[in-house]
Chain A
Amino acid sequence: MNAAAASDALYAAHQKVYARETVGRFSRLRTIAVWVLLGLFYLLPWLQWNRRQAVLFDLPARKFYVVGLVFWPQDFFFLAWLLIIAALSLFFVTALAGRLWCGYACPQTVWTQVFVWMERLTEGSRAQQMKLDRAPWSLQKLRRKGAKQLLWVSFAAWTGFTFVGFFTPIDRLFAEVLALAVGPWEFFWIVFYGFATYGNAGYLREQVCKYMCPYARFQSAMFDRDSLIISYDPKRGEPRGARARGVDPRSKGLGDCIDCTLCVQVCPTGIDIREGLQYECIACAACIDACDSVMERMSYPRGLIRYATERSMDGGATRILRPRMVIYGSLLAGLIVAFGVAVALRNPVGIDVLRDRNALYRELPGGTIENVYSVRVLNKDEKPHRFIFSAEGLSGIAVDAELTDLRVAAGDVATVPVRLRITDPQFHGSHPVLLRITATDDSRLTARADARFISPAPRSE
């Protein structure tokens, strides 16, 4: 397309953001978040519980283990519920404190941080990195870039391996990796996730937030004048300008901003926070740390750039309890409590009944009518149980005697044929019936399912 090509020419090509390293309160907080979150990610699959992996979304076996709980595809509803809770939590936190998620917890931010550390380890500081990139290829450049790639690729591969370890037992996977005998799909997903990590954290970085992240665009809908954002105080800072230390800025007609541009240099998305709130800002607070360190050296009070609400910047008092917060908060609390109750009261046994498709009914000698069902018994409990079957809802209905005691292993399913019989010459037509299973060791472990019992229509004499 010529038009597209022409419009492309209007935009300067994307440039790499070389973020300057920061030290300070919020950088420390960010580092702690990286260690905690990635620690959870890399160690959780190795944690054992009752001689099995504590957290395992076993896709090949279609069972999810979360510590002492086992979820089955039938429990999909819980997963959906959990996702709603997660989304609502994000809304709540955003309305209260802005983009905390983006700055501290988003996998994109967290993994990017680690890849940036590796880059600093091998290529040096911001200035050294820029110099290295401008320099022609040399042995030194090759060595530094090679070391970075080695770190990046190994870390990405380990990340891909860990990711797959959440879905297939990780100790077995590890043994398979060591023996170079990984299954085709496991191998594929390790490479896929590893490559995604490498590309997103190594190269795309802030571009994911700027161009691809939907949350970055719609988070402004959850904001209001009382949400916490990273703000530059223009009333205090402007007019900005250089000055010698110890000179009273007011005497030179200057504000507190010395225009050192450190806040721009540390920004991982490469914006200038002094231009006001921008959707590129991921609220990582690197500029706050940078500016605070400058303010300290200039003996000015901290907080020229700070966490503040729009209302407080305008001189008002921030209101935390506002309708938006009350609605999000009470909805969230209700959903969380209900989720906990629902999981605690979840029935650990289940029953599915399917009619035998081959015959509607069978007539046995002595006028007995028999219906056959295929019954699936689910034992989601942590230990094996024996179950007895019973039928309700029709007088004189009996369950096949040979199947009164069915053993189902922990977390297993058993499918058995069940025969229901009625001996009553006056009984005709189709009637609803209830099939029930009850554990022999605990009568509270019971589940029932609807079925239909069909008998022949009355013969016209």
Chain B
Amino acid sequence: MQPQPTEPEDCVQSPAATHWSRTRQSVGIAIWSSFLAAAGTSVLCFAFVDPAAIELLPEAGTALARMTGYAVGFFLFWIAAATASVLTLYLVRTAHGSQLPAVRTWKRDPP
């Protein structure tokens, strides 16, 4: 028995030909790359800084202060990095003469 395409319309589907919109890509890239940067920075920062020693925190000196410090620090880093990411994408894409394609593909051109 020869394997046959089960339903013709199933096989036409080629999602690689479909793409996220530019805006969606920009948001996705900005959120994700800034998340990675924030995670790395948090690890580095809190290896040296003990949030329990930060007097600003309401429960300074406790385990809860540490948890709050880690979380607040992480989100601050994330917001800062995301701002930089969004700004960079915006400036690059709106620069005069910018020819950035929406998606880089390494596919061969169709004949």
Contact = CB atoms under 8 A, between A and B. Distances in A.
Nearest to B31: A212
A8 B22 CA distance: 6
Contacts of B70: 59, 185
A188 interface: yes
Contacts of A60: 63, 66-67
Contacts of B36: 214
A127 B66 contact: no
A269 B47 CA distance: 38
A272 interface: yes
Interface in A27-81: 59-62, 73, 76, 79
Grouping DSSP codes into helix (H, G, I), strand (E, B) and loop, the B interface class, with mixed when no group exceeds half, is helix
Contact of A7 (B15, B22, B48, B106): B22
A1 to B, nearest CB: 8
B96 interface: no
B41 interface: no
Interface string A261-285: 1101100011110011111100000
A188 B3 CA distance: 50
Interface residues of B, number: 47
B67 A264 contact: no
Contacts of B68: 185
A191 to B, nearest CB: 12
A4 interface: yes
Given A17-B15, A130-B10, A277-B106, A261 B5 contact: yes
Contact of B3 (A4, A18, A262): A262
B16 A270 contact: yes
Pairs A-B, 9 closest by C-beta atoms: A270-B15, A76-B47, A60-B63, A185-B67, A212-B32, A8-B21, A12-B18, A11-B19, A271-B16
10 contacts: A4-B22, A11-B103, A14-B15, A73-B48, A183-B64, A185-B64, A186-B67, A211-B29, A217-B104, A279-B106
Interface of A: 1, 4, 7-8, 10-18, 59-62, 73, 76, 79, 126-127, 130, 183, 185-186, 188-189, 207-208, 211-212, 214, 217, 220, 244-245, 258, 260-262, 264-265, 269-272, 275-280, 294, 297-298
